[in-house]
Amino acid sequence: MRIRIIIPVLNEANNLQELLPYLKKELANRGDIIVADGGSTDDSAAIAASHSVQFYASPRPGRAAQMNAAAAACPDCDAFYFVHADTRPPVG
């Protein structure tokens, strides 16, 4: 099963710095992570790159638009998991 974790962001560099290593460990190569950006002016893109996750600059701002665009970019994914940058999903 291929899972895509989608994180909608707008200036969430600090949260991404903590969240991305956690999610990568939990995902354990069963899918991928994409940061769907709505026009950040901070280091969100650089943080995503430093953790080797995809960064998608959404053509429209807004969480729904960002999440939908990132999901549409993966037609062969079996499941999507949407998580906000300021949350930490439970282990497992």
- The residue whose two tokens read 């999440």 is 67
Quote the pLDDT of residue 76: 82
Check residues 61 and 36 and name the one with the higher pLDDT: 36
CB of 53 within 8 A of CB of 83?
no
Of the candidates 40, 35, 51, 37, the one whose C-alpha atom is nearest the C-alpha of residue 11 is 40
pLDDT-based confidence at residue 65 (cuts at 50, 70, 90):
very high
pLDDT of 6-51, one tens digit each?
999 999 999 999 999 999 999 888 889 999 999 999 999 999 999 9
How many Cβ atoms from other residues are within 10 Å of residue 59's Cβ? 9
Q: Are 47 and 41 in contact (CB under 8 A)?
A: no
- List Cα–Cα distances, 26 to 1, 43, 79, in angstroms: 15, 24, 15
Please give the pLDDT value at position 17: 96
pLDDT attached to residue 61: 87
